[in-house]
Amino acid sequence: MKAKTASRRQKILDVAAEVFRETGFERASMDEVSQRGGGSKATIYNYFASKEELFFDVVYRAAEVQLAATEAALDSGEPDLRVALERFGQRFLAMLYSPDVQAARRLVIAEGGRGGLGRKCYEMAPARCLAMLDSFLQQAIAQGKLRPADTAIASVHLRGLLEAELAEKYLFHTLGPVTEADIAAIVERAVGVFLAAYGPPGYLPDR
Could you read off the pLDDT of 122-179 as tens digits, one per residue?
887 888 889 999 999 999 999 999 999 999 999 999 999 999 999 999 999 999 999 9
Residues 5 and 103 in one domain: no
Q: Are residues 88 and 135 in the same domain?
A: yes
> Measured between alpha carbons, how far is residue 90 from residues 39, 65, 158, 183 in Å?
40, 16, 13, 6
Q: Is residue 203 part of a domain?
A: no
Residue 11: pLDDT over 60: yes
Helix, strand, or coil (residue 17): helix
Total domains, the chain: 2
Angstrom CA distances, 180 to 90, 175, 184, stand at: 8, 15, 6
Handedness of CA 157, 179, 22, 12 (dihedral sign): negative
Domain that holds residue 180: 57-198
* Domain shared by 103 and 182, yes or no: yes
**pLDDT band at residue 2, thresholds of 50, 70 and 90?**
low
User: Are 37 and 64 contained in the same domain?
Assistant: no
Same domain, 151 and 131: yes
Together in a domain, 65 and 147: yes
Q: Find the mean pLDDT for residues 22-43.
A: 85
**pLDDT exceeds 70 at position 66:** no
Distance CA 130, CA 186 (A): 20
For the entire predicted model, the pTM comes to 0.77
In the predicted model, is pLDDT for residue 101 greater than 90? no
Residue 1 in this model has a pLDDT that exceeds 60? no
